[in-house]
């Protein structure tokens, strides 16, 4: 298979995404995750931009990686300085990486209006900077910034920039759709032309997602001859984000016959996505292709029946090929066949005619009539099944809890207080905590009490919390509410549900299921 190099810019371009701020420790953890899955390059930041990146590169230089090369990123020299005198250029040497990425202007608009210089001088900037690093035995990747806009505006100017970088010794020429505004057909034809003009050079592609076409454009560029794909691992980046490598990699490898990473590493894809998302403090969208929680989730009876008989009938790839898993969603319309498919891993001995199967179906319908929703709450469903099968042994028992709130809060933050008492075996434990609201206070108090018996609970925390007012005869403020909680232990994510006319009790029920599922 033709080899495609995967170039990850999560730590550089991804760090420019709104709401993202990586610590040095965050960056080091992400490097480990990216190297573990087998990407070729990790663009780690601009060492001349801030003290944090300088510290990071000093620590990263000591890391032994198995697959990836760390890259330092910077621009061409300033127009009024010799390359040897430009501190930003020199900082790239101090980063001690084997690979340097240099970006330069390839759009005449930017040359005139941003750099305020001539096209000829811009070519000198590119040549001098690339040549500076090649003389020092660095692998050099040249990013032609705004290349597609530049090509459409002034073809000769854009191509001359690539020629200058190539003449100076650049190992790779990357075509950047920096504004994310190039339509697929345009990008396809332009990439094809550049590949034919530079047959001796590796051509890369770097797409932004402002038209929603970053993944499609990247795939088209590869089909036109590009052999390096740049992007971020979960699609984060400035404005609308960058090309999502977690979608591009399986598409190239499973659909188009290219080799990006080993098949063993591809099976770690979902794990890597959730690990990086956790560090970014982001939730993976359930409908994200390949790795999302709903990517292989089936609810319709016909779909579930089809997948149970032949997985290819409703799945385009095996979920395990990307480290995901098949899910059958439960609802009040679920029949015995659906329930059997769902509980097969919990109780494989059950059959369609088993009385336990009928009992599970009946209990499911009763709870959904009360307002429970299990299609998104697999963890609560599993606990419910274990309870019906009399295989559920709670790890703790609540003896009492009490909450109180105060507005305005004394310190401006902690607005609620919770105290509870639990029993584990023959022992009891009482704990209290302040929190940002009664649910947060209860959560903190429960973890404090449980930590005495189950230290591993420290790894579990909530990542999402949703409340839905259920329609009914009562006024909305007195109606039942349904609470859905997403929790994680850093390795997997699960969802639990609670229903009550009291929002705190509904939250408590979901919280208990979350903790019990983790301890199970």
The per-residue pLDDT for 55 is 86
- Distance from C-alpha of 115 to C-alpha of 108, rounded to nearest angstrom: 10
Question: Among the ranges 233-247, 270-284, 295-309, 379-393, which has the highest mean pLDDT value?
Answer: 233-247
Q: What is the DSSP letter of 143?
A: E
Q: Which of 211, 207, 153 is nearest to 177 (CA)?
A: 207
Whole-angstrom distance, CA of residue 56 vs CA of residue 104: 24
**pLDDT score of 204:** 98
Confidence of residue 476 (pLDDT cuts 50, 70, 90): low
pLDDT confidence tier of residue 332, bands split at 50, 70 and 90: low
DSSP state of 77: P
Per DSSP, what are the bridge partners of residue 397?
423
Kindly tell me if the per-residue pLDDT of 411 is higher than 70.
Answer: no
pLDDT at 473 over 60: no
What are the tokens at 229? 């794909």
- Find out whether 98 and 140 touch, Cβ atoms under 8 Å: no
Integer Cα distance of 148 and 192 in angstroms: 12
Residue with tokens 């040897």: 84
**Residue 167 confidence class, pLDDT cut points 50, 70, 90:** very high
Reported residue count of the chain is 520
- pLDDT reading at 407 higher than 90: no
Angle at 13 between CA 8 and CA 16, to 5 degrees: 145
What mean pLDDT do residues 137-151 have?
Answer: 98
Q: Taking the mean position of all CA atoms in its chain, how far away is CA 467?
A: 24
Question: Which of the given ranges, 94-103, 368-377, 477-486, has the highest pLDDT on average?
Answer: 94-103
What is the largest distance, in Å, between two alpha-carbon atoms of the chain? Answer: 83
Burial of residue 139 (number of CB atoms within 10 Å: 0-12, 13-18, 19+): middle
When pLDDT is averaged across residues 121-138 and rounded to a whole number, the result is 98
Mean per-residue pLDDT over the chain, rounded: 91
Q: Per-residue pLDDT averaged across 140-166, rounded?
A: 98
The answer to whether 280 touches 20, Cβ cutoff 8 Å, is yes
- For residue 178, the number of C-alpha atoms closer than 13 Å in the C-beta half-sphere is 16
Instruction: Note the pLDDT of residue 478.
Output: 63
Yes or no: say if 241 and 285 are a contact pair by the CB < 8 Å rule: no
For β-strands 416-424 and 397-405, DSSP reports them as antiparallel
Nearest to 444 by CA among 452, 453, 454, 434: 434
Segment 448-468 shows an average pLDDT of 91
Instruction: Return the CATH superfamily for domain 5-261.
Output: Aldolase class I (3.20.20.70)
Provide the pLDDT confidence category of residue 14 given band limits of 50, 70 and 90.
Answer: very high
Burial zone of 393 (CB within 10 Å; 0-12 exposed, 13-18 middle, 19+ buried)? exposed
pLDDT digits (tens, 9 = 90+) for 35-64: 999 999 999 988 877 777 888 998 998 889
Contact 125, 164 (CB under 8 A): no
pLDDT at 474: 53
Residue 442 and residue 434 in contact, taking contact as beta carbons nearer than 8 Å: no
Residue 431, H or E segment: strand 427-435
The mean pLDDT of 138-163, rounded to a whole number, is 98
- Over residues 274-281, mean pLDDT: 88
Site of tokens 């009399």: 390
pLDDT tens per residue across span 18-41: 989 899 989 999 999 999 999 999
What is the distance between the alpha carbons of residues 149 and 243, in angstroms, rounded to a whole number? 18
Pair of tokens at residue 516 = 């019990």
Can you point out the beta strands (E) in 40-116? 41-43, 69-75, 99-105
Give me the pLDDT at residue 471, please: 62
Confidence at residue 475, expressed as pLDDT on a 0 to 100 scale: 57
């Amino acid at each position: 298979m033709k080899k495609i190099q995967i170039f990850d810019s999560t730590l550089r371009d991804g760090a420019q995404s709104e709401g993202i701020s990586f610590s040095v420790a965050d960056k080091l953890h992400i490097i480990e995750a990216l190297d573990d899955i087998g990407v070729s390059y990790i663009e780690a930041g601009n060492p001349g931009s801030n003290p944090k990146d300088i510290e990071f590169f000093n620590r990263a230089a000591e890391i032994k990686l198995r697959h990836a090369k760390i890259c330092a990123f910077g621009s061409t020299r300033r127009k009024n300085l010799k390359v040897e005198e430009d501190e930003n250029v020199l900082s790239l040497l101090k980063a001690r990486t084997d690979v340097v990425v240099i970006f330069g202007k390839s759009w005449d608009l930017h040359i005139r209006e941003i750099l305020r210089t001539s096209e000829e001088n811009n070519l000198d900037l590119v040549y001098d900077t690339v040549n500076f690093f090649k003389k020092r035995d660095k692998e050099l990747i040249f990013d032609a910034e705004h290349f597609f806009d530049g090509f459409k505006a002034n073809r000769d100017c854009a191509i001359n920039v690539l020629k200058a970088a190539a003449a100076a010794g650049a190992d790779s020429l990357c075509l950047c759709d920096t504004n994310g505004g190039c339509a697929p057909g345009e990008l396809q034809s332009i990439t094809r032309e550049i590949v034919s003009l530079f047959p001796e050079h590796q051509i890369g592609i770097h797409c932004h997602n402002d038209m929603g076409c970053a993944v499609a454009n990247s795939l088209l560029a590869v089909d036109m001859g590009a052999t390096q794909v740049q992007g971020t691992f979960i699609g984060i980046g400035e404005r609308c984000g960058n090309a999502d490598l977690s979608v591009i990699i399986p598409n190239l490898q499973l659909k188009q016959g290219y080799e990006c990473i080993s098949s063993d590493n591809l099976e770690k894809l979902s794990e890597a996505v959730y690990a990086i998302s956790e560090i970014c403090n982001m939730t993976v969208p359930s409908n994200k292709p390949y790795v999302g929680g709903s990517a292989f989730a089936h609810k319709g009876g016909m779909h579930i029946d089809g997948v149970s008989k032949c997985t290819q009938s409703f799945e385009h790839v095996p979920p395990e090929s990307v480290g995901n898993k098949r899910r059958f969603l439960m609802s009040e319309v679920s029949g015995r066949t659906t329930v059997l498919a769902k509980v097969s891993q919990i109780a494989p001995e059950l059959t369609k005619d088993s009385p336990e199967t009928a009992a599970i179906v009946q209990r499911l319908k009763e709870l959904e009539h009360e307002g429970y929703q299990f299609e998104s709450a697999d963890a609560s469903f599993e606990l419910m099944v274990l309870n019906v099968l009399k295989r559920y042994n709670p790890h703790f028992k609540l003896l009492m809890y009490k909450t109180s709130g105060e507005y305005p809060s004394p310190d401006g933050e902690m607005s609620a207080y919770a105290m509870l008492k639990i029993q584990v075996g023959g022992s009891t434990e009482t704990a209290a905590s302040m929190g940002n609201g009664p649910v947060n206070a209860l959560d903190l108090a429960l973890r404090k009490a449980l930590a005495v018996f189950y230290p591993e609970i420290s790894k579990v925390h909530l990542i999402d919390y949703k409340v839905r007012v259920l329609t009914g005869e009562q006024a909305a403020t007195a109606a039942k509410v349904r609470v859905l909680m997403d929790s994680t232990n850093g390795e997997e994510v699960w969802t639990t549900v609670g229903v009550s006319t009291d929002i705190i009790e509904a939250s408590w029920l979901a919280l208990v299921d979350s903790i019990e599922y983790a301890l199970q």
